Amino acid sequence: MLNIHKQFLAWRRQVFVRNPHQDLNILYAGLISRSGIYLIGCADEIVYVGQSWDLTERPIDSLGRYYHRVPDVSLPWSLALAPCPPAEMHERESTAIRAFAPKFNTSIPSLPASEGRMPEIVGHAAVFQDQISTGGAFEEENLRRQMERAAANPSPPWRQGKQRKKTGKREPKPELPPFDPPAQLTGEELQEAWRRYGIPYGDPLVYPINLCNNGSVVTRDGEYIGTWAMDQYDTPSFAPDGETLPLLEAPLVGLLCMTIRDWYEERTGEKL
């Protein structure tokens, strides 16, 4: 397989043992710039703020590190993205950490820059398919309440982290239920996945890469380039025209489209 994203590995390494929420597809599909800030919410508060050169990889990897440190992982989790140029990431991440004082941010990139510009969130989404809500971490009232608590806290986590001495001890790895190997869907199950995630074949092709509800993959110009499928964990894959085995995989439909686009442009030298 080529271009295996870190999220794909995280979902399959038993970090969550839960399927990703389909709203993540929408969040990533609307991502224009890949560099920037991401914010992880649990219930009604932001619990971690990070930066990445590639927002399609790092956020879920970070979620995997902190997921089992929350006593009740069944609480609703959410993810917000705030793209920005790499030169602005330290300032915006530092400012957000100081403003919200998330419990898992035990350091701050730049204290002098932490009173600068806040991240500009372009959207947020629920993380897991079995959630009934996002939890409200990114609702205006909860954002304001968390900022007020942070401003009144004389010893926020990011300040404690600078004073805490490293002990060298690691938290024990959590006990996780067994994880069935992924298997490609076939027959009616695959057709149901096509209907659920694909766009109607014959409708206007609005995206650079379109996964259609008949299993075909078509460019915006109408060029047929292959087929797509799903496994039992709702992980999509792509097989080029003439091939039977998947070439590309990703944890989300939106990310698979981005990966197919990169592959197509590299192979043809054409921009979609």
pLDDT value at residue 23: 86
Q: The whole model's pTM is what?
A: 0.66
3-class SS of residue 190: helix
DSSP letter for 225, please: E
Q: DSSP letter string over 13-60?
A: TTSS-SPBPTHHHHHHHT---S-EEEEEEETTEEEEEEEES-TTTHHH
Q: What is the 3-state secondary structure (H, E, C) of 134-181?
A: CCCCCCHHHHHHHHHHHHHCCCCHHHHHHHCCCCCCCCCCCCCCCCCC
Q: How far apart are CA 119 and CA 129, in angstroms?
A: 26
Instruction: Of 164, 103, 172, 95, give the one whose Cα is nearest residue 137.
Output: 103
Query: DSSP 3-state assignment of 226?
Result: strand
pLDDT for 29 equals 74
The residue with tokens 């002098």 is: 112
- In tens digits, the chain (272 residues) has pLDDT values of 333 444 555 555 546 777 788 888 788 877 777 899 999 999 999 999 999 988 877 888 888 889 888 988 889 999 999 999 999 999 999 999 999 999 999 999 888 889 899 999 999 999 988 888 899 999 999 999 999 999 999 899 998 765 334 444 444 544 545 556 778 899 999 999 999 889 898 888 888 999 999 999 999 999 999 999 998 877 899 999 999 899 998 877 887 888 899 999 999 998 88
Starting at the edge strand that comes first in sequence, how are the strands of the sheet with 248-249 ordered? 209-211, 216-219, 224-230, 236-240, 248-249
Helix (H) or strand (E) holding 236: strand 236-240
- Matching residue, tokens 């206007």: 204
88 secondary structure, DSSP code: G
